[in-house]
Structure 1
């Protein structure tokens, strides 16, 4: 009884670590794909060229993912002290999220390898399936009212009002409208679900489930052939 409970707990811990690892990888990929989705305001709103805007945005990305202390400074887009403080908070959250994802990936791979050696991968498959179903059933909820959830998300993560940008004071917000973050959320979800499906497929292949289904299909065809004969 204790052995079965220990095996189930280990399987749940493995799945949680895999979820954290997948989230960290999806976060890193989404942040670095974000230049593809920035909004380029009209000349009347932003008197800077496309190349200049993209260059400053890339400087922002480098700052957000640097683990060593530094101060944010863009070459052409002005930033208020409130914006600098907010991006510093975002940087801390990103670095923590990516670090947790990296550590979880190492631990998750180690646990999966250990359970493979012990023949216990099947115990991981069931909680992974339930996790996947829960994600698929709930991930669409923020899309119903993204504006409200976007505000609630900031109120939950930040204990100040620095995240409220005024375009006249911090024109960089024109590059990152709400639609920009909506696209990033979709990209994050797609990457995360894809990685979970790949993990699911790897577990199924290691357990021989694909071969088992193929054998059953072949047996059914052979039985049908014999019956016809």
Structure 2
């Protein structure tokens, strides 16, 4: 029988792993989503750049943010201020850290789920997953009511300066990254997170049935 402490620790690592995987899945998906966003938000008209130039610039930016071996950010079609480059470096650290979290937490979570199965306690996992889904949906409802405020709160929580407030005169790249695009990314993250929770729920039912 798992203790309450073991349950809390296990679920914490599980949630962290799912969150980190969702972030990585969103990053992998944006190469498909961003071209759609260009047309939907009229980013080419806002920036004066062609669709191809915007996609190329976005690819350069994402390579810097997500690949540890890309150390410098030189966007082909946008200049950047010192503060802007600092902010992108902070975002890069956050995203690279999420990759480490995904790997380490997945390893621990796999061990924890195996132990849970061995003890015949996977039925508890179903209840915990349902509770997590309920909390997630309530949280998403609050964000959907006022995404702009949630966007600001997120930046204030994770960044200790105001360098994320870009001035288009000095960091015109912000025109290529409208807030609506980030709302799409947030929606994708929720979709991936809920998908993982549902798959885990199905997995727990399947494994529980095998044990009977």
TM-score, with normalisation over the residues of structure 1?
0.82
Is contact 2:10–2:112 with CA below 8 Å preserved after alignment?
yes
Specify the alignment match of 2:55 in structure 1.
54
How far the C-alpha of 1:67 sits from its partner, in A, is 2.2
* Superposed counterparts of 1:59-138, under 5 Å: 59-68=60-69, 70-138=71-139
Distance in 2 (CA, whole Å) between partners of 1:53 and 1:138 is: 33
For residue 19 of structure 2, the aligned residue among 23, 28, 34 is: 23
Is contact 1:32–1:61 with CA below 8 Å preserved after alignment?
no
For residue 34 of structure 1, the aligned residue among 30, 41, 50 is: 30
* Superposed counterparts of 1:120-159, under 5 Å: 120-159=121-160
Pairs aligned (count): 206
* Superposed counterparts of 1:189-228, under 5 Å: 189-208=190-209
Is contact 1:7–1:123 with CA below 8 Å preserved after alignment?
no
Kindly report structure 1 stretches of 4+ aligned residues shifted beyond 6 Å: none
Is contact 1:83–1:163 with CA below 8 Å preserved after alignment?
yes
Give the 3-state SS of the residue equivalent to 2:121 in structure 1: coil
* Larger Rg belongs to: 1
| Structure whose residues are more often helix by fraction | 2
Distance in 1 (CA, whole Å) between partners of 2:107 and 2:62 is: 25
Specify the alignment match of 2:170 in structure 1.
169
